[in-house]
């Protein structure tokens, strides 16, 4: 990942973290709210593979840890494992398939919340496993399936390289070719 891409990923992470800690906290269903930060490593892994997914997951999870009252590093560990797992499990799948993003978001976000709660309980946060997991999974699943598409567009912008940029000239102009 280039320095420019890393800075754009950090900007997208900050944007989603701000959205998570302000707007998303107002969206509640039975006292539970969506977790959109897990979508960052999922979309990064779908766009650029397991290593990028793990790196983005570690960075976004560490940023998430800074605003959570949980053990520092728990979000980073879960994000790193999530990004790598999504990247490895979708490596043999056509990444342009329309069903892949929502399915990966659904399974990845629900799995990340479960792993986060179980590891939190192992590290001494017993209250993390004393929630209504069925309601939590419904809220997280629905929100992640809906929000994966805008987050994917942001992550595509963040991870683009100089060669990926689309030409701004018209196809019919002297500078541009027919195709």
Is residue 168 domain-resident?
A: no
Is residue 141 domain-resident?
A: yes
pLDDT tens readout for residues 65-115: 999 888 899 999 999 999 999 999 998 888 888 899 999 999 999 999 999
- Contact between residue 137 and residue 113 where contact means Cβ atoms under 8 Å apart: yes
> What is the number of domains present in the chain?
1
Is residue 174 domain-resident?
A: no
Q: Residues 5, 85, 27, 121: is their CA dihedral positive or negative?
A: negative
Residues of the chain with pLDDT below 50 are: 167-171, 173, 175-179
- Contact between residue 28 and residue 134 where contact means Cβ atoms under 8 Å apart: no
Is residue 146 domain-resident?
A: yes
Q: Output the pLDDT for position 15.
A: 95
Over the chain, what is the mean pLDDT? 87
Is residue 165 domain-resident?
A: no
Rounded distance between C-alpha atoms, residue 159 and residue 40, angstroms = 11
Is residue 173 domain-resident?
A: no
**Alpha helical stretches, state H, the chain:** 3-21, 23-26, 39-48, 50-65, 74-89, 100-122, 133-159
Q: What angle do CA 172, 173, 178 make, to 5 degrees?
A: 40
- Contact between residue 28 and residue 19 where contact means Cβ atoms under 8 Å apart: no
Give the range of the structural domain holding residue 25, as residue numbers without chain letter: 3-160
Rounded distance between C-alpha atoms, residue 136 and residue 109, angstroms = 11
* Tokens matching residue 31: 């006292």
Is residue 17 domain-resident?
A: yes
Is residue 89 domain-resident?
A: yes
């Amino acid at each position: 990942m280039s320095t420019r891409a890393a800075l754009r990923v950090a900007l997208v992470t900050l944007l989603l973290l701000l959205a998570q800690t302000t707007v998303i906290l107002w969206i509640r269903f039975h006292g539970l709210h969506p977790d959109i930060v897990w979508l960052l490593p999922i979309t990064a892994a779908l766009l650029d593979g397991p290593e990028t997914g793990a790196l983005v997951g570690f960075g976004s999870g560490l940023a998430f840890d800074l605003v959570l009252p949980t053990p520092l590093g728990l979000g980073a560990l879960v994000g790193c494992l999530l990004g790598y797992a999504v990247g490895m499990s979708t490596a043999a799948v056509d990444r342009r398939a329309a069903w892949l993003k929502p399915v990966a978001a659904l399974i990845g976000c629900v799995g990340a919340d479960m792993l986060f709660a179980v590891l939190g309980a192992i590290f001494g946060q017993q209250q993390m496993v004393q929630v209504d997991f069925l309601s939590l999974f419904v809220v997280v699943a629905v929100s992640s399936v809906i929000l994966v598409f805008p987050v994917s567009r942001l992550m595509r912008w963040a991870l683009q390289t100089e060669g990926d940029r689309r030409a701004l000239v018209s196809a019919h102009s002297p500078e541009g070719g027919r195709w």
